[in-house]
Amino acid sequence: MERNRLQQEVACMRRSLFDQGYLEEQFIQLEELQDDANPNFVQEIVALFYTDSARLIQNIEQTLNSKPIDFSKLDDYMHQFKGSSSSIGAKKVTDECTVFREYCSAENAEGCIRTFQQVKQEYTILRRKLEVYFQMVRQAAVAHSA
Amino acid sequence: MGVESGFSSPRNDVFPAGLRVLVVDDDPTWLKILEKMLKKCSYEVTTCCLAREALNLLRERKDGYDIVISDVNMPDMDGFKLLEHVGLEMDLPVIMMSVDGETSRVMKGVQHGACDYLLKPIRMKELRNIWQHVFRKKIHEVRDIESLEGIESIHMTRSGSDMFDDGHLLGGEDITSVRKRKDADNKHDDKDLSDPSSTKKARVVWTVDLHQKFVKAVNQIGFDKVGPKKILDLMNVPWLTRENVASHLQKYRLYLSRLQKESDIKNSFTGMNHSDPSSKDSTASFGHHNSMNVMQDDLSNGAYSFSVNNSLAQNVDLKGHEGDRKGITSVPVAEPKGALSIDIPDPNKAKSSHISFDHSLGSVDSGLNFASFNSTNLVQYSWSKIPEIQFKQECEPLQLENGFSQLPLPGSHHHMQTEYLQPSASISSGPSITEKEASSSRIEVKPMYDEYGRNHVKHLSPMEAVDLFPVQSKNHTLHNQVFEPISTSTSSMKSPDVSLNWLTDLEFAQRNLNGGAGIPFTSLSEDIQVCWLQGDCYAMNFGLQDFDCTEYNDPALIAEIPFHLYDAPRFDHDHLFDPAEYSALDKGLFA
């Protein structure tokens, strides 16, 4: 009933996240790692990602704002950020990162700045969605155990 | 990312479970994910987020890890640099990771020695199989060592071919023995041996000279600071590439670490320290008889490991810690001549490592070809050349101070005949003493060396040993010869003549070694003989005073040895036959 409904909603949201391209295979890998020893593993990893990536975002921002722009440093930071995003399977985010790196290697400041806005947008959207998702997961778990 | 200690020994019984993995990544998210993934594979995981930290961990505990996984991009150090360091210092398999899959990057990783390159995001199934790299490396190590020795031996002598035919056995490792035989065969063909095991195209043949240059460069730079580029620059060999040097260096380190292990093992045995070589370098615990004892087992297999290491080991600090060793460079033992690199297999290994001293390092001078009989593994390391010493490098080794080091008759350019008595014996140790340029003198002294060093068995890791010994100088030819005899002994001294030869050689060597030091020849020979003859002496109980087999103490035998080989005791070698050592050796020669 309630439990089933909640669980269904969770499953539904999860599916849409994949269908809409927000998440990819890596996320499933995380889910598979979750076990009794780490029952909230996925959530912990996502939280860790968002915490850590905040400083990377800041670094990129600063580099973009500096004049002249140090493209090689920019590329380094973005490389790190992309690697980190790939850890949770944030597909849209990593796709934008790839575009960014192309502009970066072309030393196209304008393109970099624009693309970075996209990166941040996707990054934020995903966070919100995942927050909702995990909340639902928790609720379903509580209902389940109830 | 905390660093969890995972210092434990691998659980061989349930391999690959318990594989000790060190993960290095500056991204905390990935670090956590990888840790969880590896734990799920039942591996023992240690994480760290800085390259320097990783190196510290690795250095602190040389044998604490089986494999390293590292990200390419790291803040404090380039991942490739870390890769190089690990390869050089610890010789562990390293897997690189990156989100960047560009071919050039991947190629760079492989060039620097990565055994695999994973692209992020990494799947768990990719991590499940990393144990294969550990396993593969282990197998190749032995092969490489053998092949190295093989190469060396070719240089050393050609006559050693019979020995190979006898099928020296590589104790313990069938693969290696096969390889050895293969190498031997190749050698006989007198062709440049390309390391068959490496199946690489256009392999560099590390000749004695080349190896000598290499060793010299390494010593110059300082073992700790060594790097392929630096070595390459110093060596000044135009056609040599950085990669060639890097892989050779790896083997060298391996060799040294084997020696170290041998010596460690030997130390544990300490049974044999008879004469407490006071004269010897304090380092070497000549008591490394362990190798000798072990030999017994091997002997039956025909593989004897000369525990020469013991003695050497002591001095040498065997490489296990290459970084630490720096000082080893002064291995008195044979001057870079063709030290015997006896590769004493890790005690841990099934002891069947033979040390094959193949090359009688052309110039006997340096060649301490100790056939270290690690009882356990008669790894046939062609000790042929114990290049000056390689021992030096790592371990003081060969300090033949104990007198052995220079066994191969100092300065005798006798070609080390690889004739190790083997003819019949399956001289596993295969020291294919490649006859060197040296003249006919066959310095069969090899086994003698063991004695000298009492247990200096420097287990030069075959790999390294090989390099070391590659008889760099023609002078070392002697070295190899020495070991030959030993091998025969393992074969159970069956052929009396063989053993005799051996003995005579030993004696001969002894004599020479003593250079008139007056070391009672008989005592030495006794020791030697005992070892050999007795079968149980396998462990070249050099210095084991208990040899019962004194059968061969027949001086007459000795007389048969062409002393000419030893020409006036050329103790040119600094370390060679230090008279004082001889006495020490005497005690422990085969004790």
Minimal-distance CA residue of chain A relative to B1: A48
Minimal-distance CA residue of chain A relative to B41: A33
**Residue B61 confidence (pLDDT):** 85
Measured between CA atoms, how close is B65 to chain A, in angstroms?
24
Measured between CA atoms, how close is A56 to chain B, in angstroms?
11
Confidence of residue B152 (pLDDT cuts 50, 70, 90): low
Interface test with A, best of B27, B31, B42, B118 (most A CBs within 10 A): B27
Number of domains in chain B: 2
What mean pLDDT is predicted for residues B97-119? 88
B15 pLDDT above the threshold of 90:
no
- List the single residue in B37, B73, B120 with the smallest CB-CB distance to A33: B37
Partner-chain contact B99 A86, CB within 8 Å: yes
Average pLDDT along chain B: 56
**Residue B202 confidence (pLDDT):** 58
3-class SS shares of chain B: helix, strand, coil, % to 5: 45, 5, 45
Partner-chain contact A33 B123, CB within 8 Å: no
User: Tens of pLDDT along B200-235?
Assistant: 445 677 777 788 888 888 888 887 777 888 888 888
Partner-chain contact B73 A80, CB within 8 Å: yes
User: Tens of pLDDT along B462-498?
Assistant: 343 334 443 333 443 333 343 333 333 333 333 444 3
Cβ contact B334:B575 at 8 Å: yes
Partner-chain contact A86 B32, CB within 8 Å: no
Which CATH number characterizes residue A16's domain?
1.20.120.160
Partner-chain contact B33 A33, CB within 8 Å: yes
Which CATH number characterizes residue B247's domain?
1.10.10.60
Measured between CA atoms, how close is B92 to chain A, in angstroms?
25
- List the single residue in A53, A79, A87 with the smallest CB-CB distance to B73: A79
Query: Is B144 in the same domain as B27?
Result: yes
What mean pLDDT is predicted for residues B4-10? 48
Alpha helices by DSSP H, B131-207:
131-156, 161-165, 174-188
Strand partners, B308: B457
Which CATH number characterizes residue B32's domain?
3.40.50.2300
- List the single residue in A30, A49, A79 with the smallest CB-CB distance to B99: A79
Confidence of residue B271 (pLDDT cuts 50, 70, 90): very low
Rounded to whole angstroms, the Cα distance separating B147 from B201 reads 15
Eight-class DSSP state of A90: B
Partner-chain contact A26 B37, CB within 8 Å: no
Alpha helices by DSSP H, B302-383:
308-316, 322-325
Does some domain include residue B135?
yes
> How many alpha carbons lie under 13 Å from residue B489 in its C-beta half-sphere?
47
Rounded to whole angstroms, the Cα distance separating B120 from B70 reads 12
Which tokens go with B294?
A: 């072990």
The rounded percent of chain B whose pLDDT value lies above 70 is 32
> How many alpha carbons lie under 13 Å from residue B333 in its C-beta half-sphere?
57
**Residue A1 confidence (pLDDT):** 61
Give the residue with greater pLDDT, B334 vs A91. A91
**Residue B306 confidence (pLDDT):** 37
Number of domains in chain A: 1
**Residue B87 confidence (pLDDT):** 82
Rounded to whole angstroms, the Cα distance separating B13 from B229 reads 40
Does some domain include residue B325?
no
Rounded to whole angstroms, the Cα distance separating B224 from B230 reads 12
Return the closest-CA partner of residue B175 out of B160, B197, B202.
B197
Whether the CB of B30 is below 8 Å from some CB of chain A: the reply is yes
Partner-chain contact A52 B27, CB within 8 Å: yes
Strand partners, A45: none
Peptide bond into B431 cis (omega under 30): no
Query: Which among B108, B129, B148 is the end of a domain?
Result: B148
From chain A, the residues in CB contact with B29 under 8 A are 45, 48-49, 52-53, 84, 87-88
Does some domain include residue B46?
yes
Residue with tokens 């020795």: B149
The b/e string for B16-39 (b: 16+ C-beta within 10 A; e otherwise) is bebbbbbbbbbbbbbbbbbbbbbb
Whether the CB of B100 is below 8 Å from some CB of chain A: the reply is yes
B542 pLDDT above the threshold of 60:
no
Confidence of residue B151 (pLDDT cuts 50, 70, 90): low
User: Tens of pLDDT along B388-412?
Assistant: 333 333 334 333 333 333 333 333 3
**Residue B157 confidence (pLDDT):** 57
B72 pLDDT above the threshold of 70:
yes
Whether the CB of B124 is below 8 Å from some CB of chain A: the reply is yes
Measured between CA atoms, how close is B119 to chain A, in angstroms?
10
Phi, psi of B538 (to 5 degrees): -35, -40
Which tokens go with B382?
A: 């062609």
Low-confidence ranges of chain A (pLDDT < 50): none
**Residue A99 confidence (pLDDT):** 95
User: Tens of pLDDT along B348-376?
Assistant: 443 333 333 334 333 333 333 333 333 33
Does some domain include residue B354?
no
**ipTM of this predicted structure:** 0.94
Return the closest-CA partner of residue B247 out of B92, B113, B94.
B113
User: Tens of pLDDT along B522-539?
Assistant: 444 444 443 334 434 333
Residue B216: which domain range?
208-265
Query: Which among B119, B148, B177 is the end of a domain?
Result: B148
Query: Is B141 in the same domain as B252?
Result: no
Query: Which among B250, B265, B280 is the end of a domain?
Result: B265
Does some domain include residue B420?
no
Angle at B558 between CA B555 and CA B564, to 5 degrees: 140
Rounded to whole angstroms, the Cα distance separating B177 from B380 reads 8
Partner-chain contact A41 B28, CB within 8 Å: no
